[in-house]
Amino acid sequence: MTTLPQSTTRKLGLVIDLDTCVGCHACVISCKGWNTENYGAPLSDTDAYGADPSGTFLNRVHSFEVKPPILKDQPAPEAQLIHFPKSCLHCEDAPCVTVCPTGASYKRVEDGIVLVNESDCIGCGLCAWACPYGAREMDAVEKVMKKCTLCVDRIYNENLPEEDREPACVRTCPAGARHFGDFADPDSNVSKLSAERGGMDLMPEQGTKPVNKYLPPRPKDTLSEGAGDIDILAPYLEPVAQEAKGFLGWLDKTLEKL
Amino acid sequence: MHPAPSVIFFTVFSGIGFGLLAFLGLGFPNVSGLTAFAFFVIAYLCAVGGLIASTFHLGHPERAMKAFTQWRSSWLSREGICAVVALLVMALYGAGLVFLGERWGLLGLIGTIFSLLTVFTTSMIYTQLKTIPRWNTPATPAMFMSYALAGGALLSGQITWAMALLAVAAIVQVVVWMQGDGAFAGSGSTLAAATGLGADGAVRAFEPPHTGTNYLLKEFAFVVGRKHGMKLRIIGIVLMAVLPVLLLAASFSHLIALLAVVSHIAGALTTRWLFFAEAEHVVGLYYGKR
């Protein structure tokens, strides 16, 4: 049934730390790998080695530039580059679920994960139209809607060692920028982290009430302090030998004269 | 939005078909026998043809029956149910007119109501989407309804009604454009809100996630032909309403009526293409396309 549950017992989701994400795209690759080899239709690529490659991804990393405003009498502040992973936010008020005509899209009562039952999906694409975040992609080969499952086939999988029972993107992140947990529990790692660092919603004006939270980047050190000379090693890198001596010096001078 | 031909044909022809059925259900024109048969054939060709066209953009049309199950929450599901009820009721009503020469007024009225509900539910599929501010307004159902009624009046040969309703459709369409052009800016969705990074300064999309294209860009970031938008709007509204009204006002013959219908459909296809092509989805913000 594509009506949303009144409330969910748990609210599983991710905290994504924009301060520590280095933009390596490892989460993109591990997500594609796990979700191609395991549950559901594989994530296809079309024209993968040709001129116009395209593929289905459940997680994509954008990069944004943030340019602080120039204040009077101050040197222009440095722009920041923010790497920005984006996947399904498992919204409490998920607009993608209610538009589904077949009941293929649903939000689980037990943990709040938004899933697609692929054998019921007619591939109309309306759920992708309803999602403001671009979290759903129609697979070009399988013709069904694909989306992040929060690795539902890992997190409860007792065949995996306990440390692997978290989403593939979280498990693989080398910077520790992704965290997985239950937002319904105020004492969970993600709830605490989000409260501590001011976890924010994406596009709050859309009224989707996303479960996943993003931690804003911390203010950066000011690079322009200290009269402009920013490299303390620079003096040591001065050229040592300005002029050639000995045989090479003679050769240099002789060749100059020719 | 990507203007898929199947969806453009579906909305235009099913709108006209159900518009015609709505008039036939009320007894305009009051026909029976073979004449009624001809009218119903045209109406069903448009309505059913449009519905069949709509299945062409489905990834798995063989599962289309499942789409009747979620009427509690989904406008797309409600549309399917209304369409089937309208077509069944009108088939019975039409059979009465064609084969028995009997006009069952109550059945016709029910058919009219469900025909108009079908057009309304179609329009709500687009209207409900907060992600596309241009569509997320009561003007969208007004536009779909006014098109269906104008097309229905035109095809059912109600000259006076057709001229009046075509004028109404034209006015509603102009209002939709004027309102729609400021809708995205007025929606409050910006790159700053989309990323949450606005507090630190001006946000700019620096690098997309992939060097190639993807489903999202193909489906939601369609910009081809937008530079001809104004020209197409003028062509569309002239063909859809102005020319048919002038033709109907000049004199009436079957040839002129046919010309008016052809012109109206060509215009409606043009404005419907613009309806999709000019619609901006908020996900384009993440790609620096808005």
Question: pLDDT by residue (tens digit) across A156-170?
Answer: 999 999 999 999 999
Which of A57, A86, A99, A141 to mutate to test binding with chain B, by most B CBs within 10 Å of its CB? A99
How far apart, in Å, do the first and last CA atoms of chain A sit? 91
String of b and e for A16-51 (b: at least 16 CB within 10 Å)? bbbeebebebbbbebbbebbeeeebbebbbeeeeee
ipTM of predicted assembly, 2 dp: 0.93
Q: Which residue of A has its CA nearest to B57?
A: A124
CB–CB contact A81 B130 (8 Å): no
Cα A38-A42-A47 angle, rounded to 5 deg: 145
Closest alpha carbon within chain B to A145? B59
Which residue positions in chain B have pLDDT lower than 50?
Answer: none
Q: Is A56 on the interface with B (CB under 8 A)?
A: yes
Q: Which of B130, B204, B212 sits opposite A206 (nearest CB)?
A: B130
What is the structure's pLDDT at B228? Answer: 82
- A204 touching B (Cβ < 8 Å): yes
Strands A45-46 and A12-17: unpaired
CA distances from A163 to A155, A159, A166, A170 (A): 10, 11, 7, 11
Residue B204, helix vs strand vs coil: strand
**Nearest CA-CA distance, residue B77 and chain A, Å:** 5
CA–CA min distance A115, chain B (Å): 16
Query: For B21-45, how does the pLDDT look when each residue is reduced to its tens digit (9 = 90+)?
Result: 999 999 989 888 899 999 999 999 9
Q: How far apart are CA B201 and CA B198, in angstroms?
A: 6
Q: Do A133 and B283 count as a contact with CB atoms less than 8 A apart?
A: yes
Q: Do residues A66 and A186 make contact, with C-beta atoms less than 8 angstroms apart?
A: no
pLDDT of residue A250: 84
- Residue B6 burial (10 A CB sphere; 0-12, 13-18, 19+): middle
- How far is the CA of A19 from the CAs of A83, A207, B193, B197, B268, in angstroms? 9, 25, 18, 11, 51
Question: Which letter, b or e, does each residue of B184-208 get, where b requires 16 or more Cβ atoms within 10 Å of its Cβ?
Answer: beebebbbbbbbbbeebbebebbbb
Instruction: Test B219 with A122 for CB contact under 8 angstroms.
Output: no
Q: What six digits make up the tokens of A44? A: 């296809």
In chain B, the residue whose alpha carbon lies closest to the alpha carbon of A208 is B130
What domains does chain A contain, in order, with CATH numbers? 12-215 (3.30.70.20)
Q: Is A24's Cβ below 8 Å from some Cβ in B?
A: no
What is the pLDDT at residue A224?
55
Contact list, B57 vs chain A (CB under 8 Å):
124-125
CA angle B257, B259, B260 (to 5 degrees): 65
Q: Do B212 and A122 touch (CB under 8 A)?
A: no
- In tens digits, chain A (258 residues) has pLDDT values of 568 888 888 999 999 999 999 999 999 999 999 999 988 899 999 999 999 899 999 999 999 999 888 877 777 778 889 999 999 999 999 999 999 999 999 999 999 999 999 999 999 999 999 999 999 999 999 999 999 999 999 999 999 999 999 999 999 999 999 999 999 999 999 999 999 999 999 999 999 999 999 999 987 766 555 555 567 777 777 777 777 788 888 888 888 887
Predicted pLDDT at A76: 74
Q: What is the DSSP letter of B103?
A: -
Cα distance between residue B98 and residue B38, in whole Å: 9
List of chain B residues whose C-beta atoms are within 8 Å of the C-beta of residue A126? 76, 125
Beta bridge partners of A105: A116
Which three-class secondary structure state does DSSP give residue B76?
helix
Helix (H) or strand (E) holding B206: strand B202-207
Q: Where are the alpha helices (DSSP H) in B96-228?
A: 105-127, 139-155, 159-180, 183-186, 191-195, 215-220
- Helix (H) or strand (E) holding B275, with range, is helix B254-277
The helix, strand and coil proportions of chain B, stated in percent and rounded to the nearest 5, come to 75, 0, 25
Partners of A65 on chain B (C-beta within 8 Å) are 203-206
Asked if A62 is an interface residue toward chain B (Cβ–Cβ < 8 A), one would say yes
β-bridge pairing A145-146 and A59-67: unpaired
Using CA coordinates, name the residue in chain A closest to B62: A122
**DSSP 3-state of B88:** helix
Nearest-angstrom CA–CA distance, A101 and A2: 8
- Given CB atoms, is A52 within the 8 Å cutoff of chain B? yes
Question: Per the structure block, which two tokens stand in for B26?
Answer: 């009320």
* Interchain pair A95, B61: CB under 8 A: no
Select the residue of B63, B75, B219 nearest A125 (Cβ to Cβ).
Answer: B219
Which residue of A lies nearest to B77 if distances are taken between CA atoms? A101
- Please state the three-class secondary structure of chain A as a single string: CCCCCCCCCCCEEEEEECCCCCCCCHHHHHHHHHHHHCCCCCCCEECCCCCCCEECCCEEEEEEEEECCCCCCCCCCCCEEEEEEEECCCCCCCHHHHCCCCCCEEECCCCCCEEECCCCCCCCCHHHHHCCCCCCEECCCCCCEECCCCCHHHHCCCCCCHHHCCCHHHHHCCCCCEEEEECCCCCCHHHHHHHHHCCECCCHHHCCCCCCEEECCCCCCCCCCCCCCCCCCHHHHCCCCCCCCHHHHHHHHHHHHC
We find that the CATH architecture of domain B5-287 is Up-down Bundle (1.20)
B146-177 b/e (C-beta count within 10 Å ≥ 16 → b): bbbbbbbbbbbbbeebbbebbebbbebbeebb
Q: Does A75 touch chain B (CB under 8 A)?
A: no
Which sign, positive or negative, has the C-alpha torsion A14, A15, A18, A20? negative
Asked whether the beta carbons of residue A129 and residue B66 sit closer than 8 angstroms, the reply is: no
Asked if residue A45 lies in contact with residue A146, where contact means CB atoms within 8 angstroms, the answer is no
